[in-house]
Structure 1
Amino acid sequence: MARATGKSEAVYERLRSDIESLRLRPGAKLSEVHLGEELGASRTPVREAIRRLAREGLVDFVPGEVARVAAISLGGVRALFEFRMLLEPRAAASVATAGAADERLLVPFRELLERLEEFDESFRALDAAAQARSYQEFYEVTEGFDQAVIAACRNPYLARTIRDLRSETVRLRHLSHSGPRRMLTSMEEHRAMLKAIVQGDAQAAEAAGRHHLAQTLQALIDSLTGQDVAIGADVHLDVARR
C-alpha cells in the first residue's frame, strides 16, 4: 500500500508539473491507460492523481469522455484575480508590518531583491533568443517571492487560502509573461513589492501588490484573446479540442 501511495504521489507531481507548465495543454485528454504506459504506473495511482488534480481545479471530468486538463476561460481568470486581489495585497502589507517589528522576517525578501537586481542586469544584456531561454530563472524568483509571503504571513487562514490557489495561478504565469516587454514590467512590479516589504511600508506593499495583479490580469486577457479565440462573455482557451 505504501508503494502505491508513493507512486500516486510521483504521478501526481509529474502531471501537475506538466499542467502548470502548459506541456499538457488546456483540453488535453488524460487517458489512464496511456498515462500509465508513459509514466510506468498502473491505472490505480494514475486515477488517484487525476482525482486529486480535479479537486484542485486543474482537471475536468466530461460526461462520456475521459478526463481533460481544465480549460482556461476569461470568466474564470477574472474571478480568480478578483479573489486574489482581496488576499495577496493584504498579505504583503501584513508581512511588511511584521518585518518592521522583526527584521529576521525580511531576510528572504532582501535576498530575493538582490537576486532580482542581478537577474535584471543580466536579462537586459541578452538578445531576444537568450531572453526567452532565461524565463525559468525569473519564474523561480517570482515563485520564491510568493512562497516567502506565504511563509511570513502571520494570518494562517490567509496564508493557507493563498497557498491553495497556487496550482491555478502557476499555470497562468506562462501566459501572463508572454514576451520580454511583459517580463521587464513584471520585474519592476516585483521590485516595488520587495522594496516596500523590506522598507516596512505596508501601504506601499499593498498598493504594489494590487498594481501587479491588475497588470498581470490585463496581460492574461491580452494573451487569451490573442490566440485565435473569439471574444465573448466566457472565452475558453482549449487548445487540444481545436
Structure 2
Amino acid sequence: MARATGKSEAVYERLKSDIESLRLRPGAKLSEVQLSEELGASRTPVREAIRRLARDGLVDFVPGEVARVAAISLGGVRALFEFRMLLEPRAAASVATAGTGDERVLVPFRGLLERLEEFDASFRALDAAEQVRSYQEFYEVTEGFDQAVIAACRNPYLARTIRDLRGQTVRLRHLSHSGPRRMLTSLEEHRAMLKAITQGDAQAAEAACRHHLAQTLQALIDSLTSHDLALGVGVQVDIAG
C-alpha cells in the first residue's frame, strides 16, 4: 500500500508539473491507459492522481469522455483574481507586521530581494533570445516569494487557502509573463512587495501586492484575447465572464 501511495504521488507531481507548465494543454485528454504506458505506472495510481488534480481544479471530468485538463476561461481567471485580491494583499501585510516583531521572519525576504536584484542586472544584459531562456530563473524567485509569504503568514486559514490555489496560479504564470517588457514590470512589482515587507511597512506591502495582482490580471486578459495565443480548445475567451 505504501508503495502504491508513493507511486501515486510521483504520478500526481509529474502530471501537475506538466499541466502547470502548459506541456499538457488546456482541454487535453487524460487517458488512464495512455498515461500508464507513458509513466510506467499501473492505472490505479494514475486514476488517484487524476482525481487529486480534479480536486485542485486542474482537471475536469466530462460525462461520457475521459478526463481533460481544465480549460482556462477569461471568466474563471477574473473570478480567481477577485478571490486572490481578497487574500494575498492581506497576507503580505500580515507578514510585514510580523517582521517588525521578529527579525527572523524577514530573512527569506531579504535573501529573495538580493536574488532579485542580481537577476535584474543579469537579465537586462541579455539579448532577447537569452532573456526568454532565463524566464525560469525569474519564476523560481517569484515562486520563492509566494511560498515565503505562505510560510510566514500568521493566519493558518489564510495561508492554507492561498496554498490551495497555487496550482491554478502557477499555470497562469506562463501566460502573464508574455514577453520581456512584462517580465521587467513584474520584476519591479516584486521588488516593491519585497521592499515593503523587509521595511515592515504593512500598508505598502498590501498596496504593492494588490497592484501586482491587478497588473497580472490585465496581462492575462491581453494574452487570452490575443490572436497570437494558441492554447487549443481548452481556452474559452468569454469576455462577458
Tell me the TM-score normalised to structure 2 length.
0.95
Name the count of aligned residue pairs.
234
1:209 aligns with 2:224: no
Quick check: 2:74–2:238 contact (8 Å CA) kept in 1?
no
Quick check: 2:75–2:240 contact (8 Å CA) kept in 1?
yes
> What one-letter code is carried by the residue in structure 2 that aligns with 1:76?
G
Structure-2 residue corresponding to 1:147: 147
* In 1, Cα distance between equivalents of 2:56 and 2:218: 24
Q: What value does the CA root-mean-square deviation take over the aligned residues?
A: 1.0
3-state SS of the aligned residue for 2:41? coil
Q: CA deviation at 1:222?
A: 0.3
Cα shift readout 1:120-159 (whole Å, capped 9, x = no counterpart): 0000000000000000000000000000000111111111
* In 2, Cα distance between equivalents of 1:128 and 1:24: 26
Structure-2 residue corresponding to 1:45: 45
* In 2, Cα distance between equivalents of 1:83 and 1:92: 15
Structure-1 residue corresponding to 2:225: 225
Q: CA deviation at 1:230?
A: 5.8
Structure-2 residue corresponding to 1:239: none
> What one-letter code is carried by the residue in structure 1 that aligns with 2:87?
L
3-state SS of the aligned residue for 2:64? coil
Quick check: 1:7–1:41 contact (8 Å CA) kept in 2?
yes
Q: CA deviation at 1:231?
A: 5.5
Structure-1 residue corresponding to 2:233: none
Q: CA deviation at 1:116?
A: 0.0
* In 2, Cα distance between equivalents of 1:37 and 1:218: 40
Cα shift readout 1:214-239 (whole Å, capped 9, x = no counterpart): 000000000001037765324xxxxx
Quick check: 2:75–2:239 contact (8 Å CA) kept in 1?
no
Q: 1:230 to 1:169 in 2, by over 3 A?
A: closer
Structure-2 residue corresponding to 1:192: 192
Quick check: 2:224–2:237 contact (8 Å CA) kept in 1?
no
Structure-1 residue corresponding to 2:166: 166
* In 2, Cα distance between equivalents of 1:108 and 1:39: 36
> What one-letter code is carried by the residue in structure 2 that aligns with 1:213?
L
Cα shift readout 1:26-78 (whole Å, capped 9, x = no counterpart): 00000000000000011111000000100110000001110000000000000
Q: 1:207 to 1:230 in 2, by over 3 A?
A: closer
Q: CA deviation at 1:194?
A: 0.1
Query: Which aligned segments of 4 or more residues in structure 1 are displaced greater than 4 angstroms?
Result: 228-231
* In 2, Cα distance between equivalents of 1:168 and 1:18: 13
Q: Specify every segment of 5 or more residues in structure 2 that has no aligned partner in the other structure, as ranges.
A: 231-235
Structure-1 residue corresponding to 2:78: 78
* In 1, Cα distance between equivalents of 2:30 and 2:139: 26
> What one-letter code is carried by the residue in structure 1 that aligns with 2:205?
A
Structure-1 residue corresponding to 2:105: 105
Structure-2 residue corresponding to 1:176: 176
Q: Specify every segment of 5 or more residues in structure 1 that has no aligned partner in the other structure, as ranges.
A: 235-242
* In 2, Cα distance between equivalents of 1:46 and 1:91: 35
> What one-letter code is carried by the residue in structure 2 that aligns with 1:139?
Y
Quick check: 1:225–1:231 contact (8 Å CA) kept in 2?
no
Percentage identity across paired residues of the two chains: 90
> What one-letter code is carried by the residue in structure 1 that aligns with 2:154?
R
* In 2, Cα distance between equivalents of 1:25 and 1:169: 15
Cα shift readout 1:186-239 (whole Å, capped 9, x = no counterpart): 0000000000000000000000000000000000000001037765324xxxxx
Structure-2 residue corresponding to 1:17: 17
> What one-letter code is carried by the residue in structure 2 that aligns with 1:8?
S
